[in-house]
């Protein structure tokens, strides 16, 4: 198609999945253009916590492999935390046992049962990547541009608009309309950002009310969460939910109770019964690679999924 000849690949979606996939493609020498409705700092990815852990994502076997590949990349990026936004941080996953996890867990360095001093209940101690998305997304964007990629803010009403030989669909929740795929649904997450009262470790557990509770120390702040409300579309912070989040976290660490609130955040995780990462050939002969439905683990599997998606796109170009 002559009109698409200047764009070997168009990636639709500028969140962490789209940007990471575009980086992998561009660094393989492929001309790539990202179409994103919002700038990176206003995507769902910008709201993420973002602790590496395969959370709310299926199928487990593939997700475990994608997550482990991404873990290796993040461990390398953590050597330059100020630049990449990635740090290795210690913490506890409460109410979690090793024998409840898939085979992938055996390959996570240092993952072990938490001691009584580390956590009062049953939990796992881990040293995992903790990603500051306010630094990581701009770093990804800069890496993409350096590799020759281009990002355009563009609202797409259908994937057919992407006039390129290969299109990679990383549209997240937008896939509901763009594909269309009605099996994609939102899982609403609300966070409270406070001044960090000196907490250096993270914790993910269940509060006294049975709801999820977590806190993640990020540079200059502490992220408190959270919620996982399925099929909830509101992106407005709920004051009552925010109060409950602070209360749950303060029950775990009392110093949180007096921390000054800096910001409220809401993000809609793009969930699906399983990640869609596959290739299809369109009626006009062009190729569409899907990479969406990552739920609450988009950051966790970003590099593994990006490399697989880029492989599908690259092999298609070679075959064509």
**45 token code pair:** 């990815």
Alpha helices in the chain (DSSP H): 16-26, 60-77, 81-84, 133-146, 175-178, 239-252, 302-319
Whether residue 101 is predicted with pLDDT greater than 80 in this model: the reply is yes
Tell the residue number behind the tokens 């880029």, with chain if given. 310
Report how far apart, in Å, the C-alpha atoms of 279 and of each of 165, 211, 260, 282, 309 are: 13, 38, 48, 10, 8
- Per-residue pLDDT, 300: 98
Closest CA to 4 of 167, 173, 200: 167
> Average pLDDT in the 102-114 region?
96
Predicted pLDDT at 47: 87
Q: Which domains does the chain have, with CATH numbers?
A: 2-88+129-182+272-319 (3.40.50.720)
pLDDT, average across residues 88-94 = 98
Averaged pLDDT score across all residues of the chain: 94
Q: Which of 144, 141, 128 is nearest to 50 (CA)?
A: 128
CA distance 105 to 93: 13
> Regarding beta strands 185-194 and 221-225, do their DSSP bridges make them parallel or antiparallel, or are they unpaired?
antiparallel
Residue 3, pLDDT score: 37
Q: How far apart are the first and last CA of the chain?
A: 12
Q: Residue by residue, what is the 3-state secondary structure of 80-128?
A: CHHHHCEEEEEEEEECCCHHHCCHHHHHCCCCEECCCCCCCCCEEEEEE
- Rounded CA separation 92/54 (Å): 15
Token pair of 106, please? 């055996």
d(CA 233, CA 245): 19
Quick one: what percent of the chain has pLDDT higher than 70? 96
Q: How far apart are CA 57 and CA 297, in angstroms?
A: 6
With tokens 């890496």, the residue in question is 143
* Whether residue 316 has pLDDT greater than 90: no
Query: pLDDT tens for residues 127-170?
Result: 999 999 999 999 999 999 999 999 999 999 999 999 999 999 99
Q: How confident is the model at residue 214 (pLDDT cuts 50, 70, 90)?
A: very high
- Looking only at the bridges linking them, the beta strands covering 123-131 and 86-94 are antiparallel
Contacts of 134 (CB under 8 A, 6+ apart): 41, 46, 85
- Please provide residue 266's backbone torsions phi and psi, each rounded to the nearest 5 degrees: -135, 135
> pLDDT tens digits for 5-62?
445 999 999 999 999 999 999 999 999 999 999 988 888 898 888 999 998 899 999 9
pTM, two decimals, is 0.95
Question: Residue 289 pairs with which residues in a beta bridge?
Answer: 168, 279
């Amino acid at each position: 198609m002559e009109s698409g000849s200047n764009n070997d690949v168009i990636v639709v979606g500028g969140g962490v999945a789209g940007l990471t996939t575009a980086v992998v493609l561009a660094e393989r020498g492929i001309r790539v253009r990202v179409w994103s409705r919002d700038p990176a700092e206003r995507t769902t990815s910008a709201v993420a916590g973002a602790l590496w852990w395969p959370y709310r994502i299926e199928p487990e076997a593939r997700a475990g492999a994608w997550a482990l590949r991404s873990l290796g990349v993040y461990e390398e990026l953590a050597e330059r935390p100020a630049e990449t936004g990635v740090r290795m941080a210690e913490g506890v996953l409460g109410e979690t046992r090793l024998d409840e996890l898939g085979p992938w867990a055996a390959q996570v360095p240092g993952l072990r049962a938490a001691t009584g001093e580390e956590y009062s209940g049953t939990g796992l101690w881990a040293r995992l990547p903790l990603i500051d998305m306010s630094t990581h997304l701009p770093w990804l964007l800069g890496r993409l541009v350096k590799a020759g990629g281009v990002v355009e803010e563009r609202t797409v009403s259908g994937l057919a608009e992407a006039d390129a030989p290969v299109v990679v669909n990383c549209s997240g929740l937008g896939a509901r309309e763009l594909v269309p795929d009605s099996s994609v649904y939102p899982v609403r997450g609300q966070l409270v950002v406070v001044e960090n009262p000196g907490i250096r470790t993270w914790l993910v557990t269940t509060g006294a009310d049975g709801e999820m509770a977590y806190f993640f120390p990020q540079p200059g702040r502490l992220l408190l969460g959270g919620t996982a409300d399925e099929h909830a579309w509101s992106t407005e912070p709920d004051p009552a939910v925010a109060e409950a989040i602070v209360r749950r976290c303060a029950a775990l660490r009392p110093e949180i109770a007096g921390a000054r609130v800096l910001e409220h955040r809401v993000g809609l995780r793009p969930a699906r019964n399983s990640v869609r990462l596959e290739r299809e050939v369109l009626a006009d002969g062009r190729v569409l690679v899907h990479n969406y439905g990552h739920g609450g683990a988009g950051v966790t599997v970003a590099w593994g999924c990006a490399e697989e998606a880029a492989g599908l796109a690259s092999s298609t170009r070679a075959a064509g």
